[in-house]
Amino acid sequence: MKDAGILNTGNYSDSSAALKEATDITMGAAIDYTPMTTDAKYAAVVKRDYDGVTFGYHMKHGAVVQANGTLDFTRPDALLAACSGLAVFGHTLGWHSNQNADYLKSYSGLQKPAVAELLGAPGFESGLTGWSVFNTGNPSGTATVTATTVANEVHGGTGAMKVVNPTAYTGNQWRVQVSSASFATVSGKDYVITYWVKAANAGGSIRLSLGTAPATGSSQYQGDQTIGTSWQQISFSFRANSSTNTFLFDMGQVANTYYIDDASVKEVVPTTNLTQVALKLDTALNKFITGMVTHYKGTVKAWDVVNEVLSPSGAYRNAVNSTDADPNAKDLFIWEEYMGRDFVLKAFNYAKAADPSALLFINEYGIESSTPKLDSLIALVTEMKGKGAKIDGIGTQLHIAWNTSYAGIDAMMQKLAATGLLIRISELDVKINPSAKPGFILTPTEASYQAAMYKYVIDSYKKYIPKAQQHGITIWGVTDNTSWLYNNGRDYPLLYNADYSKKPAYGAVLQGLRTQ
């Protein structure tokens, strides 16, 4: 049921000015790596209309933490370079999604490999016996796959596999491919594949893929791994969906010479020593937060330290109440399940220690529509500040719809303002087809309803959040077709059409910013 006020749609045809020029509130957009670094028009629109950005993915744990626990800043650094002249808001240091969950489970001892080795001939001590060469480039034979016994080309024992790929098949790792023999698995059980690899030259790339698709929620492909000239161990976990499986090394992406040794497949068994797990996770959390904040100190001046720490009902998050997360998702890792409330406190403490001058935020969704969740968030902030946490502000995501309650938005703004903290609208978008009806077409009338909601949010923020507490507004994306809510054309939640033309929603935001 929509609020009566939603029908007062107004005229939002004036979109002539940049949003950043209409206000002294920092106006931000969430951006993605590929369009910002390769699409000149996308980058130009972002720089024309906004003075700040948030990276949608590339500062998260899963984007930065590698299989061996090291932090790879290559992509966030490149994205930062593409954002010259824009303020970058750091997002996010602690979250349950977009994690390198395989690393965290392995490092913490939460899951450990069993003793029994399932892979035949794992160390290449008998050459390539048990391994099958599937693809050798285009044309076939361009790449070579051989056994090697040269001492500096072997990790352990006396033999290794050597793959020489002289041609880069960009986007086609499968062009050079070697498969293991089949090994026994049990459907529903978890397994880990590990291997050691190095390249003759820096900047190599390898990926592991499964011969049989894993259970729902897992990935059939490992992400591309950047390989240097020193030996590094790579791991890949999956949940079996069959009685046998194989895996393949894919090495077609980058021209290089690769050395692979000591491959292994073992069943994963859970640990019962959760106290030790919590201690190891504390170390991993400290390493990630300290590494991120230190690396970007002086450049990134504000961070989402913890994100979505409350369940949909407003309870402190754990594995049982995380009904908003896919329990089988490969990148899911709920820190709170093992570290308890120390997760929030320690995350803020580590961020403060790394950069005492940075502004530190807690970020949450759904607090405009759930009073219990809003109250729980404010109580949590009060609790953590009482324990010494440096919490400078609260982010309200505001992933809303055209018919979200106006009253709920106003009530939230008033309660957030009463905390005295900095308040930011952190991830604003407005669904126009919230029930995801198929065949949806955005009409002018519906576009005006959406625009009215955007304007109401801006109006409410400016009305109820005192000027000194207004930290900024971020629209969660640029064009409709690149939004996480696009759903193959079932929703159009943002300010620009696919061709970068401005929607009525843009004019509405502009009008709201201009209104005194």
What are the pLDDT digits (tens) for 164-179? 999 999 999 999 999 9
Architecture of the CATH domain 4-105+273-514: Alpha-Beta Barrel (3.20)
Is the pLDDT confidence value at 148 over 80? Answer: yes
- 61 burial via Cβ count (<10 Å: 0-12, 13-18, 19+): buried
Is the pLDDT confidence value at 296 over 70? Answer: yes
Q: Which residue bears the tokens 């050798």?
A: 136
Of the pLDDT bands very low, low, confident and very high (cuts 50, 70, 90), residue 1 is very low
In this structure, are residues 155 and 202 in contact, taking their beta carbons and an 8 Å threshold? no
Is the pLDDT confidence value at 3 over 70? Answer: no
pLDDT recorded at residue 7: 46
In this structure, are residues 233 and 195 in contact, taking their beta carbons and an 8 Å threshold? yes
> In Å, how far from its chain's centre is CA 101?
12
pTM: 0.80
Is the pLDDT confidence value at 308 over 50? Answer: yes
148: number of Cβ within 10 Å: 19
Listed residue (156, 132, 42, 163) closest to 481, CA to CA: 42
Q: Report the run of H or E that residue 286 belongs to, with start and end.
A: helix 274-295
pLDDT tens digits, one per residue of 195-244: 999 999 999 999 999 998 887 666 788 889 999 999 999 988 888 999 99
> Which residues, listed in sequence order, are joined to residue 266 by a DSSP beta bridge?
192
% of the chain residues with pLDDT over 90? 87
Among candidate residues 308, 337, 364, 427, the one labeled active-site is 427
pLDDT recorded at residue 9: 59
CATH of domain 112-270: 2.60.120.260
pLDDT tens digits, one per residue of 452-487: 999 999 999 999 999 999 999 999 999 999 999 999
For the chain, which residues make up each domain, given as ranges? 4-105+273-514, 112-270
Tell me if residue 427 is catalytic.
yes
| 161: Cβ contacts below 8 Å, ≥ 6 apart | 124, 128, 131, 145, 146, 147, 148, 178, 259, 260, 261
What mean pLDDT comes out for the span 388-405? 98
| 127: Cβ contacts below 8 Å, ≥ 6 apart | 147, 159
